Each structure stands twice: as structure tokens, then as C-alpha cells.
Amino acid sequence: MPLKVTTAKTFKPKPEDAKLNFGNTFTDHMFNMDFDPDKGWHDPRIEPYGPIMMEPSTMVLHYAQAVFEGLKAYRTDSGSIQLFRPRDNFKRMNQACHAMCIPNFDEGFLLTALKQLLVLEKNWVPSASETSLYIRPTIIAMDPFLGVRTSYTYRFFIILSPVGAYYPEGFNPVKIWVTQDHVRAVRGGVGHVKTIGNYAASLYAGELAHKNGYTQVLWLDGVEKKYVEEVGSMNIFFVINDEIVTPELSGSILPGITRNSVIALAKMWGFKISERKISIDEVFDAGANGKLQEIFGSGTAAVISPVGEIKFGSRTIKINNGKTGPMANRFYQALTDIQYGKIDDPMGWVEPVV
Ligand code: COI
């Protein structure tokens, strides 16, 4: 499929690298592509970043038939730009399409188109430490129709945003709040899919957490409200008695690419790592017995995010005296060293762009 490129006539001022936070600045260009049943995916194009024209009846606005991804482009010390596991993101996005009744796309073509967009926007990839260009591929249902059914037409777009740390805390411990009153997802639903409704479902409890001074919500399973699932913006890891534990993929947890990378590194280093059910009581009991060494989250936006405090009902534990622990540090260092090309990539995760 030929990729049409229309360049912008005016260019936006770029923010200072040191002042970047998350997700509020967008580059000069974006990728767009449409789907209809006659033509399939067609008309792929790179064009100036701008609004998407849609009718108020557009289905995504009413029934949330949409999927998205998050990945990053990193600038190395030599000035080159590279991606981290982009093929895994497009593969997961296609799996999400299947779950949301959205037609599949050609992953190889999308990676080529993304690289072309990144070459055009290469000056937007920041170089200050801990900054990157966040990439948000998204597909939305476009039929103007109010009945509940799958849409016949779709828009695929990719936007780019230079970012710093996702949490205001940066790579410092965050405080998380465990809720038993609200659930994010249940098995058999779409909790394992990167679809927009999952994030809408997390907002109310997220607001409560913020009002109580916590950064994020740690979700429990939706049925027994007993087993730990994920944090919504990241997967979660516990270090208990020298065992690294992360909840197994139960069908209601996002299969994080950073999660998978942490597991692979832990295995390579010979650590004891388990993907298994872990109850919130096990976590708090380990805290009470002095066996809970660390908690940290993993995600593209969050990278590795240490957890310094966890609250559940009337119980609160401070972890590692509220400081970043050695495991979180080691995973953070190894992942970012690979992502920014500071060490050789032993896993074949890095994809050069330019
Ligand atoms: C990511 O880590 O890329 C995410 O999509 C999580 C969040 C920003 C929604």
C-alpha cells in the first residue's frame, strides 16, 4: 500500500526537554488510515497533526469500540533513534482488535509506516535523561449509528508525544490504594484488552485514591475481591522472601510488554520469579512479618515504578522505608539501559529507526 505524505506548513515550538511531563504536547504530524468493508484498510497517510472530523453519532463516542497501544521511541547517546519491542505492541493490538470485533491490520506495514512517521518527526525525540517520544496507535469505530453492533468503518491513527515521567513522583516511590469496593474487570470480560472502556471504568476509584493522597489504585480480582490484579496504568510485582511474584495472566489483567520484559530479565539473571495468584492478605501478612521486601509496577509509560506505601482498608504498610528498593532499581536500570542503547541488547528487543 503506498503511504502518502503531506508535510505541515507551520511547525510548533518544541517544549524544553527538562520540562516534559506526560501526554500534553503533540508533534507536527500523525498517521491516519481508514477501513471500510469494500476497500479494507486503505488510504494510509502521514499528514499534519489535527482534529478528526466526526459526526456526533460516531459509534466510538457511544459504545467505546476502540483499541490502543503505548510504546516509545528513545534517543541514544549517539543521536540515533530506536524503538522497544514495537512488533509486540502491534501484535497485541491485533489481538485486541479480535476481542473488540475490529478488522485486523498488517503489522509489518504499520511498523514501516510508524518508522516513516518517526523519521519525519525525529527532531521531536527528546534527549534529556528519562525522556522519550511516546507513541499512541489507536483504532476507533467510525460508523454514524446509534444501534449497538460492531461498526463497519474504522479510523487507525498514530499520534506522538514527547514525554518525561508518567507519575509526578518520577522514579520515586508512589503510594497505591487497594480498593475492595470497585472492580476494574472480570474474567471473561475485556480486562486483558487495551480498550478504552477499561480506563473509563477505573476513573471513579482513581479519584477516590487521589482524594486520599494515593497516586494509583491497585485492583483486586472482580469475583472474590481477594487476589491482586494490576494497577491500570501498570502491572505489579512483589518481592517477598526473595521471590519475585507477579499475578498470573488470568484474562482480566493486561499482558504488559514491560511485565514480560521484567520476567525475562529475572529469568536470565537466575532470580526466583513466579507468575501466580497472590492474595492481598499474603501481601499484608508478608508486610507484617517483615518479608515484603519490595513492590514495584511496570509499564511503557510508568517504566519501573517503585511503590513506597500501600493501603488496604484500615491497614497501611510502608515498603522498604518508603524508598526505592534494589530490585526495582536493577530492573529500571537494565530496561532503560537497553531502551536508550547504553548496553548491548541481549534479548533482541530493540528496533533501530534512524
Ligand atoms: C502505557 O503504559 O503505555 C499505557 O498505555 C498506560 C497508560 C498511560 C494508559
105 and 8 in a common domain? yes
Per-10-residue mean pLDDT of the chain, 354 residues long, equals 96 94 96 98 98 98 98 97 98 98 98 98 96 98 98 98 89 93 95 97 96 95 96 95 97 97 98 98 97 97 95 96 96 97 96 97
Which of 84, 300, 339 to probe ligand 1 with, by most ligand atoms within 8 A of CB? 300
Instruction: Return d(Cα 84, Cα 253) in angstroms, integer.
Output: 21
Q: CA of 206: how far to CAs of 62, 158, 168, 199, 200, in Å?
A: 22, 27, 15, 10, 10
Ligand 1 atom at minimal distance to the Cα of residue 22: 8
| Residue of 134, 199, 216, 233 to test ligand 1 pocket, by largest number of atoms within 8 Å of CB | 233
pLDDT value of position 59: 98
* Coil vs helix vs strand at 111: helix
Most distant CA atoms of the chain, gap in Å: 63
**Do residue 12 and residue 159 come from a single domain?**
yes
CA distance 160 to 114: 10
Domain co-membership, 158 together with 250: no
Shared domain for 286 and 317, answered yes or no, is yes
pLDDT, position 222: 95
Rounded-to-integer distance, Cα 154 and Cα 31, Å: 14
Among 31, 28, 29, residue whose Cα is nearest residue 11: 28
Residue located nearest, by CA, to atom 7 of ligand 1: 233
Identify the pLDDT of residue 239.
98
pLDDT at 167: 85
Distance between Cα 37 and ligand 1 center (Å): 30
Q: Please check whether residues 179 and 129 belong to one and the same domain.
A: no
For residue 51, give its domain range. 4-163
Shared domain check, 96 and 49: yes
Number of domains the chain contains: 2
Residue 185: the pLDDT is 95
Q: Which atom of ligand 1 is found nearest the CA of 71?
A: 3
The pLDDT value recorded for residue 169 is: 80
Dist. CA 38 → ligand 1 center (Å): 33
d(CA 336, CA 165): 13
Residues with CB under 6 A from ligand 1: 70, 233, 299-302
CATH number, position 50: 3.30.470.10
The model carries a pTM of: 0.97
Q: Ligand 1 centre from 199 Cα, in Å? A: 10
The residues near 137 (Cβ < 8 Å, ≥ 6 apart) are 68, 69, 71, 89, 90, 93, 110, 114, 156, 157, 158
Q: Residue 162 has what pLDDT? A: 98
Please give the Cα distance from 323 to 338 (Å, whole number).
Answer: 24
Q: Classify 34 as helix, strand or coil.
A: strand
CATH of the domain at 180: 3.20.10.10
